[in-house]
Amino acid sequence: MSILILLIIFILAINADVVKFVVYPLEAMFEKVQALSRNPMSVTKSMIEEDANTKKEGSKEIHLIDKSVTKVAYLLVIGYGEAGTGIIIKNMG
């Protein structure tokens, strides 16, 4: 019986860490990509600087991917400009 209780405690502890360090950061990144697919012009230089200065909860790799998505979106905006916004929305949608 004590092994079962110990196993349940370990499962709950691992589940809490997975939700905190993986699920929430991935959900935030997914929401950011959806927002960028609706309006690519919303990404600004200040958004990139904000990403660089903030410490986010989650793994370092997920944070790096999130920063990379923001930088790629910014480069698309610079490269295509307002005229290419329709192209970006069509391809991301």
Domain locations in the chain as residue ranges: 21-92
> Please, what is the Cα angle at 37 between 34 and 39, to 5 degrees?
110
Among candidate residues 60, 62, 52, 53, the one with its CA nearest the CA of residue 29 = 62
pLDDT at position 80 is: 80
pLDDT at 83: 78
Residue owning tokens 């990403």: 51
pLDDT of res. 90: 79
pLDDT at 57: 58
Q: CA-CA distance, 60 to 57, in Å (whole number)?
A: 9
> Which pLDDT tens digit goes with each residue over 66-90?
888 888 888 888 888 877 777 777 7
